[in-house]
């Protein structure tokens, strides 16, 4: 019978048999797939696995901590954290064009990951702990990714910024894809079975380029801070209203180059709008805007404009996909 318990056990056994005594590397993004894949490999081969988390500074409030603290505490995984926040901000300075931002974030991500991978390999070689090479690279590829890419090995290309196919010649890894027979709901079951924190297991989709593509205009530290605070309020209220499973995801977008007049507290303000983009979807290919109850919207609006003084207007995106994409950039 299919239970997540014996599926997880079987997958763990498979990884153990495949990897043997070799060393394994895994990039963690904070998302469901890479986290569950990492937890599975950790269960199989323990400290033969090293995870690398690149903190690009574009995550939402609490997400880096979720990886650096909660995930590590729950799984005992050996984690290398690369604080690349300054590097990403410098690379993004002065850039407003959406495609340009995506390219920059993708490029920097690969570079930083590459360097971290090299450091892990060197540190291992220098340690003389054992002669087993760093041979494997874990990918959180799921069955739908495999199908979408025609069953080939190009699955990782879909999520382009997590793609490490472009690693240089001196960094050749063989891929290990423990989730490639599973659908998302099965991955979540396996994750729960392995003790992955619920906040990660049930995380809604979040794009690799993160908040970088939810600030319309240039990405700066101050703007990220504003968006992070507004986003945290929206998420908290949607969760409190019990809407997390009804909503596919709800981007909060900062229109950083737009200003409007308002009155907040003692006087006139000239602040920025944020857009709420709650969508319902099966697979993100098409989506409808979610009819979030008015009282929930009202709470979100009033809390954001009270608690985030830089924001003086909250607007609702009522566009389906198509024609509007889920993200604004
Ligand atoms: P759009 O905006 O194209 O988004 O309707 C569809 C889904 O994909 C997510 N998304 C991304 N995920 N890297 C990712 O891993 C990306 O560059 C990226 N861009 C969009 C988006 O959040 C939505 O779930």
Domain ranges of the chain: 4-201, 214-316
Considering the entire predicted model, what is its pTM? 0.92
- How confident is the model at residue 129, as a pLDDT? 80
pLDDT 10s digits, 147-172: 877 654 443 443 333 445 556 777 78
- The residue contributing the CA closest to ligand 1 atom 19 is 207
Centre of ligand 1 from the C-alpha of residue 241, in Å: 25
Tokens of 5: 């318990």
- Ligand 1, pocket-test mutation among 141, 205, 281, 323, most atoms within 8 A of CB: 205
CB 79 within 8 A of CB 68: yes
Q: Name the phi and psi angles at 310, rounded to 5.
A: -70, -15
Q: How many CB atoms lie within 10 A of CB 324?
A: 15
- How confident is the model at residue 1, as a pLDDT? 56
Beta bridge partners of 138: 26, 176
What CATH number should be reported for the domain whose range is 4-201?
A: 3.40.50.620
- The residue contributing the CA closest to ligand 1 atom 4 is 326
Query: What's CA 171's distance to the chain center, in Å?
Result: 24
pLDDT 10s digits, 76-124: 999 999 999 999 999 999 999 999 999 999 999 999 999 999 999 999 9
Q: Is 208 in the pocket of ligand 1 (CB under 6 A)?
A: yes
Q: Is the pLDDT of residue 205 over 90?
A: yes
According to CATH, the topology of domain 214-316 is GMP Synthetase; Chain A, domain 3 (3.30.300)
Q: Ligand 1 atom closest to Cα of 205?
A: 24
Residue 94, SS3 per DSSP: coil
For the chain, give the longest Cα–Cα distance. Answer: 69
Q: What is the ipTM of this complex?
A: 0.99
CB 134 within 8 A of CB 124: yes
Query: What's CA 173's distance to the chain center, in Å?
Result: 23
- The residue contributing the CA closest to ligand 1 atom 3 is 325
Q: Is 284 in the pocket of ligand 1 (CB under 6 A)?
A: yes
Q: Is 159 in the pocket of ligand 1 (CB under 6 A)?
A: yes
Q: Is 249 in the pocket of ligand 1 (CB under 6 A)?
A: yes
Centre of ligand 1 from the C-alpha of residue 251, in Å: 10
- How confident is the model at residue 157, as a pLDDT? 41
């Amino acid at each position: 019978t299919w239970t997540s318990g014996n599926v997880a056990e079987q997958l763990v056994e498979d990884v153990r048999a495949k990897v043997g005594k070799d060393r394994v590397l895994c990039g963690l993004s904070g998302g469901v797939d890479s986290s569950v894949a990492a937890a599975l490999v950790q269960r199989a081969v323990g400290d033969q696995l090293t995870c690398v988390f690149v903190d690009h500074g574009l995550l939402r409030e609490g997400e880096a901590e979720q990886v650096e603290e909660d995930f590590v505490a729950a799984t005992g995984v050996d984690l290398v954290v690369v604080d690349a926040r300054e590097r990403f901000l410098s690379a993004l300075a002065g850039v407003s064009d959406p495609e340009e931002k995506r390219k920059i974030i993708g490029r920097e991500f690969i570079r930083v990951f590459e360097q971290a991978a090299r450091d892990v390999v060197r540190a291992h070689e220098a340690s003389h702990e054992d002669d087993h090479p760093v041979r494997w690279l874990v990918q959180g590829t799921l069955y739908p990714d495999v199908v979408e890419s025609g069953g080939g090995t190009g699955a990782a290309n879909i999520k382009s910024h997590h793609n490490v196919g472009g690693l240089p010649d001196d960094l050749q890894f063989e891929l290990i894809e423990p989730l490639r027979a599973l659908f998302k709901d099965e991955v979540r079951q396996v994750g729960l079975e392995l003790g992955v924190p619920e906040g990660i297991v049930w995380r809604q989709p979040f794009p690799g380029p993160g908040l970088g593509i939810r600030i319309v205009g240039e990405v700066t530290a101050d703007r990220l801070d504003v968006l992070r605070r507004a986003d945290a309020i929206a998420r908290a209220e949607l969760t409190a209203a019990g809407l997390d499973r009804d909503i596919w995801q709800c981007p909060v977008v900062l229109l950083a180059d737009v200003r409007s007049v308002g009155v907040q507290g003692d006087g006139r303000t000239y602040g920025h709008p944020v857009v709420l983009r709650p969508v319902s979807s099966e697979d993100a290919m098409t989506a409808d805007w979610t009819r979030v109850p008015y009282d929930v919207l009202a709470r979100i609006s009033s809390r954001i404009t009270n608690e985030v003084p830089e924001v003086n207007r909250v607007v609702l995106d009522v566009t389906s996909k198509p024609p509007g994409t889920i993200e604004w950039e």
